[in-house]
Amino acid sequence: MAADITEELENVDLVIVGAGLFGLTVAQQAVEHAGARVLILESRDHIGGNAYSYIDKETGAEIHKYGAHLFHTSSPVVWEYVNRFTKFTNYVHRVYTTHRGEVFPLPINLGTINQFFHAHYTPQEAEALIREQAGELASSDPQNLNDKGISLIGRPLYEAFIKNYTGKQWQTDPAELPAGIINRLPVRFNYDNRYFKDTWEGLPEDGYTTWFERMIDDPRIDVRLNTDFFDTTQPLNRDAIVGKVPVVYTGPVDRYFDYSLGELKWRTVDFEEVRYDEADHLGCPVMNFADADVPYTRAIEFKNFNPERRAQQNANKTVVWREYSRTAERGDEPYYPVNTQTDKDLYARYADSAAQQPSVVFGGRLGTYKYYDMHQVIATALNAYEHDIASLLGANEERQ
């Protein structure tokens, strides 16, 4: 077996662990700029990481298997790059929240404020109202999330839309959570309810998975699914590869080091699927539920992300996924780094260990213990290729 793996690696210039956006971007860049032969190892049965999607046969909806993914960016470099592989729809993301049986637009804007207070405040009047309702906390430096939220948007709006929602997300009283979780809460003193403020946004016209397949549509890229980098019973494992060929590792950084310094903490999400015999159940793609007596944080109706596909969808069926947040256990899908000071200190120690791995580049959410949106993952991957990976391949040419 050792001879077989040695022979196989002789035909590989770069091994990438994980077929998420970071790994796919690096693979594409390595082939394009260095002519590299790339081997991607993926433990799941699909590419695309948490952005993977598939078509639901009953409804025709594109299901985002790991929760809603919306592409948006203000980076011309990233926007130009992704448009090489997919066109985007004109989708603009808007979110609504249900509070005490009434639906409000988010982020909190002048429409939310006037609806909540049954008023017709001008922008200046609404701004003055928020300052007044923040009270003495407005000029303080709160250390917990509860007081920080009140200082930013006033007590009534915070308690209606943020407090219980955040409590469900973290399964913790916000008064016991660090203020840094919500360093800012967007409040708009106009009627703009567009969720993102980026220059460009949209959804890939042919779906996420087709986009990702195009990125690695090259015979020099070999993808091995259902392959666990840490499983020593199969030949393509960490011990057999590291040191013999450059590696880009995008899995959990603590897992790479066998949790030798301790485990980093994450939040995960469970999904409950509900199907309805109707064309449209929520009337929007995403509905938050701000009240404590609703156990889930939000619901996603996937058909509503792609109204341009109505002709291909089942007009009599729809599917909704409800999201439940909880602390991740080992073996769960990690979504959001908890990032307490203890976790930050622990990650810093792992980062020191990672720096001692000269032929391994750590990247992506899991490899760097950071929460990234999709455009940020791509930007960091392009940067990592240019500054770290190209030199490992002996390819120092500038990215076009």
Give 165-190 pLDDT, tens digit per residue. 999 998 888 888 887 777 667 789 99
pLDDT over 60 at 397, yes or no = no
Q: Of all residues in the chain, what percent carry a pLDDT higher than 90?
A: 84
Residue ranges per structural domain of the chain: 5-85+201-261+337-393, 95-181
Q: Measure Cα distances from 82 to 26, 75, 173, 209, 374 in Å.
A: 13, 11, 40, 13, 11
Region 314-334: mean pLDDT is: 95
Q: What is the DSSP string of 93-149?
A: --EEEEETTEEEEESEEHHHHHHHHT----HHHHHHHHHHHHGGGGGS--SBHHHHH
Q: Classify domain 5-85+201-261+337-393 at the CATH class level.
A: alpha beta
* DSSP one-letter code for 302: G
For β-strands 266-276 and 108-109, DSSP reports them as unpaired
pLDDT band at residue 398 using 50, 70 and 90 as cut-offs: very low
CB atoms within 10 A of CB 103: 14
Q: Of all residues in the chain, what percent carry a pLDDT higher than 70?
A: 97
pLDDT band at residue 396 using 50, 70 and 90 as cut-offs: very low
Residue positions annotated with a catalytic role: 184, 188, 267, 298, 323, 371, 373
Three-state SS at 322: strand
pLDDT band at residue 265 using 50, 70 and 90 as cut-offs: very high
- With 0-12 / 13-18 / 19 or more C-beta atoms within 10 angstroms meaning exposed / middle / buried, residue 204 is buried
Give the tokens for residue 265. Answer: 């903490």
pLDDT at 139: 74
Give 108-167 pLDDT, tens digit per residue. 999 999 999 999 999 999 999 999 998 888 777 888 889 988 988 999 999 999 999 999
- Phi, psi (5° rounding) for residue 48? 100, -5
Three-state SS at 22: helix
Give the tokens for residue 193. Answer: 């309810």
pLDDT at 6: 77
Three-state SS at 78: helix
pLDDT at 157: 96
- Chain centroid to Cα 35, Å, comes to 30
pLDDT band at residue 2 using 50, 70 and 90 as cut-offs: low
Average pLDDT across the chain, whole number: 94
